Amino acid sequence: MSSSERFHFLDSARALCMVLGIPYHAGLIYHPGMSWRADSPQDSMALGLLSQASSNFRMQLFFIIAGFFSAMMIGRRTPEAWMRQRMQRLLLPFVAAMILIIPFQIAAEAFLQPGAPPGTRPGEFLYQLRQPWWNWGHLWFLLTLFWLSLGFATATMALQATGWRLPPARGLPRLPRLVALAVLVVAVTLWSQDWMLLRDRFGLPVKTAMGFVYVEAIVLYLPFFALGVWFWLDRAALEGFATLSPPVLLLAAAALGLSLHAAATQEGRLAWLFQPAAAILVSAVVLGLLRRVSDNENRTVRRLVDASFTIYLVHQPLVVILGSLFLWLALPPAAEYLVIIAGTFLLSWALAQAVAARPWLQFLLNGAARRRPAREPAPPAARAT
């Protein structure tokens, strides 16, 4: 691979995963039977299921892409150097967001929502500030990706000590696409079911170390991260996975429908059974669609890709703020939902542009300076005649 090669459809998919956090968290405000940070008295099963739909594949697809780019980048430098860069790109934004962003979310919950007596609100705000492991909420993926990256770097160093390198996978037998997808679905389903059985039987922790180690997320997203690594080693497998076809589209719709039905009927065990299938199949459909429509350089898409990480960092506090304000009104849930999504996206976009214009803030919240567009070579000077 040349240093200039880009996988535009994977960049687009990563940005989509980040931006879809907005409708996901907005839908939680109206999810029946769920008490979220802004909890509307007007429940809406339709909005709850719409929110649940993206959670069936959004972060799974994100970790596939993260594994792919991790394998790509670790091959360009030593594992130690790559891990130092990962610490900068993941832990620095986590700490910066906890200091600069999350307090606004806590303030919205303490001061903007009806119900609590005014005199208790400052005390509640100060109390919640001292509970960071509860309030970092949507930042969990930064820590989970850090631990997965640390494990990957450690494993790579151990293998390299024996003289092994990350080679392209060649000469491996090719399974028919539907068979390969079925193998993936079965493997990931068994993995998640085994974790659930072990967790329940032996009382394994979901989180530990004050929440800094989200054990369940690390376990459940490890297969998707590993799948992304495999796709880097075997580019033909990625091409086969990211190919649109009617059978896969129908299977993805069926798996997603069964998963949502299990969630709506509160059949937790069935949801755990169907959700891995939905994650694999819908991820294949999304990548196939983006590979078809977004695999070329596009300035607008590039700007969204560059802004998507900051958009994700700031979006949840904005959703909580707007959702808390709507608790004082009585508009139809669908209207509130659309306003929250549109308002959050526009405000998040504006904040992302403001962050990008300030190098120190861009470094704190993204762990890297903003990429400067390559300059076009100056035209040759005209010769005198």
* Tens digit of each residue's pLDDT (9 = 90 or more) over 122-179: 998 998 888 766 777 899 999 999 999 999 999 999 998 887 766 665 555 677 889 9
Find all residues with CB under 8 Å of 339, minimum gap 6, and list them: 322, 326
The span from the CA of 211 to the CA of 216, in Å, is 11
* 143 and 214 Cβ atoms separated by less than 8 Å: yes
Burial class of 287 by CB neighbour count within 10 A (0 to 12, 13 to 18, 19+) = buried
Confidence of residue 382 (pLDDT cuts 50, 70, 90): very low
Chain position carrying tokens 């008295």? 41
> Which among 348, 298, 291, 338 has a CA at the least distance from the CA of 318?
348
* 59 and 17 Cβ atoms separated by less than 8 Å: yes
Burial class of 30 by CB neighbour count within 10 A (0 to 12, 13 to 18, 19+) = buried
Confidence of residue 374 (pLDDT cuts 50, 70, 90): very low
Coil/strand/helix, residue 169:
coil
Whether the pLDDT of residue 383 is over 50: the answer is: no
- The pLDDT assigned to 379 comes to 47
Q: Which residues are 213's β-sheet partners?
A: 208
- Which tokens belong to 271? 């949801």
Torsion (CA) 361, 366, 372, 373 in degrees, nearest 10: -130
| pLDDT tens string 233-283 | 999 999 999 999 999 999 999 999 999 988 888 776 777 789 999 999 999
- Which tokens belong to 210? 């004050």
| pLDDT tens string 182-213 | 999 999 999 999 999 999 999 999 999 988 99
* 35 and 268 Cβ atoms separated by less than 8 Å: no
Measure Cα distances from 223 to 137, 182, 197, 271 in Å: 23, 15, 17, 18
- Which tokens belong to 217? 């997320």
* 69 and 55 Cβ atoms separated by less than 8 Å: no
> Which among 207, 209, 226 has a CA at the least distance from the CA of 217?
207
> Which among 133, 329, 116 has a CA at the least distance from the CA of 125?
116
> Which among 190, 215, 188, 174 has a CA at the least distance from the CA of 283?
188
- The pLDDT assigned to 170 comes to 56
| pLDDT tens string 97-114 | 999 999 999 999 999 988
| pLDDT tens string 62-75 | 999 999 999 999 98
- Which tokens belong to 165? 């390198």
| pLDDT tens string 206-240 | 999 988 999 999 999 999 999 999 999 999 999 99
* 310 and 366 Cβ atoms separated by less than 8 Å: yes
> Which among 358, 367, 363, 356 has a CA at the least distance from the CA of 306?
356
> Which among 246, 245, 241, 248 has a CA at the least distance from the CA of 278?
248
- Which tokens belong to 186? 């079965």
The span from the CA of 13 to the CA of 261, in Å, is 26
- The pLDDT assigned to 330 comes to 84
Which amino acid, one-letter code, is at 208? T
| pLDDT tens string 286-337 | 999 999 999 888 899 999 999 999 999 999 999 999 999 999 998 999 999 9
Whether the pLDDT of residue 33 is over 90: the answer is: no
- The pLDDT assigned to 365 comes to 97
- The pLDDT assigned to 118 comes to 80
Find all residues with CB under 8 Å of 301, minimum gap 6, and list them: 8, 11, 12, 15, 294
The span from the CA of 326 to the CA of 340, in Å, is 9
- The pLDDT assigned to 168 comes to 63
Q: How far is CA 256 from the centre of its chain?
A: 18
